[in-house]
Structure 1
Amino acid sequence: MVWCEQLVTWCCLALLSVSQSLTVADLTTTTDKISTTATRTTKSSASTKRSIPTDAPMLNYIFDIHNTINKHQHHRDNRWGPHFEGESQNVTAQADATVILDCKISLLQGKTVSWLRRHEDGERMILLTYGQLTYTGDSRYTVEFQYPDNWKLKIRNVNSSDEGQYECQISTHPPMTIVVNLHINAPSVQIVDALGEPLRDKYYEADSTIELLCVVRHMAMQMQYSVVQWLHGNRILNYDTSRGGISVKTDLMEVGANSTLSIARVGPTDSGNYTCVLTTMPDKPATVHVHVLNESLAELHHGTANITTENNVVLIVLFGIIFTHLLMALR
């Protein structure tokens, strides 16, 4: 009995030893598998990161675009500053009109905008505006800011003295400028014929109708300021009702005006100087001398033709006599 109990004890111990050996081996194997799996996972992760450009082209494209935008924005912030939109220009205006000179600026970044005018000698500059303040004593000049970026110089009732070079300036170091050359068309007043040629003399028959056309150009016409007046000598005809038969019609246009004077059933007393003048430019009138004839122009032309023919006959006779005398003298 004792021997049997000892045998059973030895068998149990042997089984326990084998079980422990297997458990350690399994644990070792399992640990090795986990280590191997972790290593493979790490390598796979690293490989995945390196393979993004190939395996995920869209993500790579977006990433590149994002970097490009950031780089461009950063570069632009460092490089870009205030700059003009557009280039230097030439502006032509009519006398007495309101002129607006544009100056569009992007990314002003707290700098100040000024308008200056270059003096006729080309050396000195006259400060007109600084920011939104006007520095010149001429009240016709003002600066107007038009959102978002236009610093406009406004000049009212321009005339020939306003012609010249204007500069819009940004207060950078050195200052940035853009030039605007302003040209003012000189106003003109002329009395013209049917072909548009200036008239100096005009002939009419008695009892006919005088019709004269006065052309005003390069002048901004405003009825409350500029009126075309017709005069016979020193007498204003626009509102003359004493004679009768007088009509003045004036058509205003953007570039000036056309004014027509009509006088019906004229006689010798209607001869003389007729003047067209603007009330805003009394120093630049246009004048034509009108001749009213008692006889018709056809008769006058016929009489002139007869006189010319008679004169030609007399000249031929005289030339013949002189030629005959010369021949006799030579013999």
Structure 2
Amino acid sequence: HQHNTAKSQAIITAATGGTAGRQRGSAKKVESKYILPKPQKTDAPMLNYIFDTFSTANKHHHHDQRYGPHFEDVQRVGQPTNMTVQAGSSIHLNCRISLLQDKTVSWVRRNALGENALDLLTVGLHTYTGDKRYKMEFQYPNNWRLKITNVKKDDEAMYECQISTHPPRVIQINLFVNAPKVMIVDEFGDPLQEKYYEIDSTLQLSCVVRNVAMATSVVYWKHGVDVLNYDVTRGGISVKTELMDDGANSTLSIAKINKSDSGNYTCAISDFQNFTIVVHILNGESFAELHHGAAAPTVPSAFHQQLVVHCALLSLLLLLLLLHAPHQPYTLVHR
């Protein structure tokens, strides 16, 4: 009986010990599963910062932007935005920032001359460029927008809105300017600088506008500062304009012109987009008289033109007679 009892206790002890062993083994296995490597530390604070950042990068990656200054338009970060505007217009470049805290917002322009050709435009609410067309125009609550007035073709560049973090956070905007072409042209389509008319004739000027939608716009004609489109006092003035999707063709006609019709004529679609030529009205004067005695050919009248033609015909006739005249033999006389 004692033998059987001891045997039973041994079996129980063995079973208990085995179970405990298995439990300890299991506990060891579970504990080892959650053991993490100790973060690496060095004597260099910046490296410690990098290691700490790296060790938590995967764990908190989707929360990083919530705890510091960041752009609201996340899709614009790292991907330049293209923006096309019309020359002469006023525009805003938006830059919405959340949780700016103690950081500063700056706008810079990266010129086409090279990557390092940067122009500082604004810092905070202050404008640092000498060009008065540029201005920081903050829009509550968080839009640090850059305003550009009367945009020109030269304003084409890459613009960057920067937050003064380390390294700086940046969004980029590629600005493209669609500059219309406005020209007063001759019958061949070449631009004119000045034009001459005789008194009592009809003045006719042609203006072409390109690279701008003109479906709802107007082409203005001016003599000096006077708008001719709606002139009802002078009489004999006609303005005909063909508007197109990409421009316009406009013609100004003035009947029975006189000396008072000379001067500057301007074709315009805005205060900043125009083209001006000088019109001279002649009453038999010569170019030399017109230019204060400068040597220049006279303006041929109808009589002068006929006289030139008759002289040319007579010269041609004489040349033909000489060519067809009989040749006389020459005789040498010895004395």
When the two structures are superposed, what TM-score results if normalisation uses the length of structure 1? 0.50
From the two aligned structures, give the one with the greater helix fraction.
1
Larger radius of gyration: 1
When the two structures are superposed, what TM-score results if normalisation uses the length of structure 2? 0.50
